[in-house]
């Protein structure tokens, strides 16, 4: 490709990058507006949704800045913060997984492992890259020590996926696989809530998920079916759920982001949640970073999306902000590529 063609390709890549940013900003605005609409109609409390939208916007903007200035140090610092928060937070008790904020621990560990793997791919020196990959294995060990089975599985999937990312691989195919995995997990959680699977399949899942979790899931599905347009209002699941009102320890939430959106904000809320995840993948697709960094971030965000579909991960502001921070780092154009040259867009 000649100089003129290279300049034209760079211009097109920059334009696609700007479109991704603008579409994300518009989507966040629509999410905030819909929360206010459903709150006005159902008498809910939109502050949780608005805080999540603010956390995503701030995290993504901060990630773009930090990723441009410090493409290796920024994800390392984020990973360290994630591990510290995971260690300091509540941990799973012995026996069946209780309902509670332990899903945030697994999500933070997954984000930490993914951030370290992104830093490894951005590192210019092979020795530093090896050390960072060993650090990612250390995050897997932390998940095991904390007793976070979901965190252990998520980290154990993210690290090999990152190592398998080919330098010249097809990022579109990899990101499509991430989208498919998220859809499958979301569909499975809805099928369990709707009791649409054969009993031979449902029984083991219920044993693993816990009877209380399945009970509140089914309440959320019932509320979504009864209020498909606007839901019962943000933050009102605990008031409308028979299981919660009868003492199920669910913290007033159905412990599934998908089912919570359906119950509290209706079908539009579900569409906005799906659109937010699709936007993250779209932004990664047009990222100027290397394919290895993009696919590592995609696998990490997919793991967090799966945890959010099966638990209460997104109720923690640290998780929503951390996921947006990782996405921002993975879509930032580093000021230098490690050799003293300014980073060039990746087509």
Local mean pLDDT, 10-residue blocks, the chain (347 residues): 49 70 92 94 87 95 95 96 89 47 85 96 94 96 92 94 81 94 94 82 76 86 92 88 70 86 95 96 93 96 95 90 96 67 44
Measure the CA–CA gap between 101 and 104, rounded to whole angstroms. Answer: 6
Determine the pLDDT at residue 43. 78
Instruction: Look at the alpha carbons of 201, 207, 211, 214 in this order and tell me if their dihedral is positive or negative.
Output: negative
Residues 6+ apart with CB under 8 A from 175: 281, 284, 285, 294, 295, 298
pLDDT for position 49: 92
Distance CA 164, CA 31 (A): 35
CA distance 128 to 327: 22
Cα distances (Å, whole numbers) of residue 137 to 9, 159, 305: 38, 8, 21
Nearest to 262 by CA among 231, 218, 226, 222: 231
How far, in Å, CA of 38 to CA of 85, rounded? 33
- Answer yes or no: are the C-beta atoms of 216 and 99 closer than 8 Å: yes
- First-to-last C-alpha distance (Å) of the chain: 13
Closest CA relative to residue 86, chosen from 102, 66, 71, 68: 102
CA distance readout (Å), 301 to 49, 111, 332: 19, 8, 16
Q: How many CB atoms lie within 10 A of CB 191?
A: 15
Query: 313: which residues sit within 8 A by CB, 6+ positions away?
Result: 103, 104, 106, 107, 257, 304, 307, 319
C-alpha distances in angstroms, 253 versus 207, 314, 324?
Answer: 20, 11, 22
Please state, as a whole number, how many other Cβ atoms lie within 10 Å of the Cβ of residue 10: 14
User: What pLDDT was estimated at residue 95?
Assistant: 39
CB 303, CB 158: distance < 8 Å: yes
């Amino acid at each position: 490709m000649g100089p003129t063609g290279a300049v034209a390709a760079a211009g097109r890549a920059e334009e696609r990058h700007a479109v991704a940013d603008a579409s994300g900003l518009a989507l966040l605005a629509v999410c905030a507006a819909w929360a206010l609409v459903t709150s006005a109609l159902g008498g809910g409390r939109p502050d949780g949704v608005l805080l999540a939208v603010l956390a995503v916007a701030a995290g993504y903007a901060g990630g773009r800045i930090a990723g441009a200035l410090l493409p290796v140090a920024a994800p390392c610092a984020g990973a360290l913060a994630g591990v510290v928060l995971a260690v300091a937070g509540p941990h799973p008790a012995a026996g069946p997984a209780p309902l509670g904020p332990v899903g945030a621990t697994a999500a933070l560990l997954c984000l930490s492992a993914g951030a370290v793997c992104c830093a490894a791919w951005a590192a210019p020196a092979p020795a530093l890259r090896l050390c960072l990959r060993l650090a990612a294995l250390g995050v897997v060990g932390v998940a095991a020590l904390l007793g976070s089975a979901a965190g252990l599985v998520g980290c154990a999937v993210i690290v090999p996926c990152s190592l398998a990312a080919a330098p010249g691989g097809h990022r579109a195919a990899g990101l499509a696989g991430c989208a498919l995995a998220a859809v499958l997990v979301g569909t499975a959680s809805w099928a369990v809530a709707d009791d649409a699977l054969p009993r031979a399949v449902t029984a083991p899942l219920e044993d693993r998920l816990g009877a209380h979790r399945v009970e509140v899931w089914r309440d959320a599905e019932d509320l979504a079916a009864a209020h498909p347009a606007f839901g019962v209002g943000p933050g009102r699941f605990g008031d409308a759920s028979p299981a919660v009102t009868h003492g199920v320890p669910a913290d007033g939430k159905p412990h599934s982001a998908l089912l919570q959106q359906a119950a509290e904000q209706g079908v539009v809320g579900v569409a906005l949640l799906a659109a937010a995840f699709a936007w993250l993948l779209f932004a990664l697709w047009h990222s100027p970073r290397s394919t290895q960094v993009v696919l590592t971030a995609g696998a990490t965000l997919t793991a967090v999306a799966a945890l959010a579909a099966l638990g209460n991960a997104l109720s923690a502001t640290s998780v929503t902000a951390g996921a947006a921070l990782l996405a921002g780092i993975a879509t930032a154009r580093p000021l230098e590529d490690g050799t003293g040259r300014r980073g060039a867009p990746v087509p």
